[in-house]
């Protein structure tokens, strides 16, 4: 069984204009996109993503300095209590993919839950977690160095889980106070 634990998250200050501060994941950004996000001085891209023309060693120092500045100026704030963080992604499927599904399973929108937490690291092949099949060692080393320097993980690993009875999804729905696919949160359900 996988061991998970809560942690204290550092988040973008919710009182700020979040859309100016966020960027896509580091390995999905091209040079043009990088420049667009980097033009905003306080965008998290300065701490999470290396410009293609920047030396990898230089990037780690630049990222740490950017992170220190964002924390010091209150753009990033650490939450007080450790927690597990539930998130959801609403998405659609292309007509080509939709056509491959049984008709009874086709919908105009889909919703997937996720949980951000600490996971106990195990030796590959000896535990409950299976390794990613397509990694690039140079990127893995850079991400590891960034994580050590910043004491934060900007690129958490997404993992799939399979539960035939949907027990975890049902637990999330109960906690959040809604049932998929209506996607409306219950305002009377305060967070724990």
Question: Does residue 131 sit within a domain?
Answer: yes
Supply 46's token pair: 């300065």
Supply 141's token pair: 């080393």
**CB of 169 closer than 8 Å to CB of 112:** no
Q: Is the model's pLDDT at 90 over the cut of 70?
A: yes
Q: How confident is the model at residue 177 (pLDDT cuts 50, 70, 90)?
A: confident
Question: Does residue 189 sit within a domain?
Answer: no
Q: Is the model's pLDDT at 42 over the cut of 80?
A: yes
Number of domains in the chain: 1
Supply 125's token pair: 């092949």
Question: Does residue 16 sit within a domain?
Answer: yes
Q: What is the pTM of this model?
A: 0.73
Question: Does residue 169 sit within a domain?
Answer: no
Backbone angles phi, psi at 142, to 5 degrees: -65, -45
The parent domain of residue 72 ranges over 4-161
Question: Does residue 184 sit within a domain?
Answer: no
Of the ranges 26-30, 35-39, 128-132, 182-186, which is most confident?
35-39
Average of per-residue pLDDT across 7-23: 93
């Amino acid at each position: 069984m996988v061991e998970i634990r809560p942690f204290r998250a550092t988040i973008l200050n919710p009182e700020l204009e979040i859309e100016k501060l966020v960027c896509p994941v580091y390995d999905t950004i091209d040079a043009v996109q990088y420049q667009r996000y980097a033009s905003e001085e306080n965008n998290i891209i300065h701490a999470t993503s290396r410009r293609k023309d920047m030396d990898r060693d230089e990037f780690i120092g630049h990222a740490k300095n950017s992170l220190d500045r964002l924390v010091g100026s209150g753009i990033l704030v650490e939450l007080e209590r450790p927690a597990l963080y539930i998130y959801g992604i609403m998405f659609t499927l292309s007509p080509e993919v939709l056509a491959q599904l049984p008709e009874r399973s086709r919908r105009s929108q889909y919703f997937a839950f996720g949980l951000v937490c600490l996971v106990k690291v195990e030796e590959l092949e000896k535990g409950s977690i299976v390794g990613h099949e397509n990694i690039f060692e140079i990127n893995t080393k850079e991400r590891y160095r960034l994580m050590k320097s910043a004491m934060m993980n900007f690129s958490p690993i997404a993992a799939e889980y399979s539960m035939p009875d949907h027990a975890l999804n049902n637990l999330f729905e109960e906690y959040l106070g809604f049932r998929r696919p209506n996607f409306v949160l219950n305002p009377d359900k305060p967070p724990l």
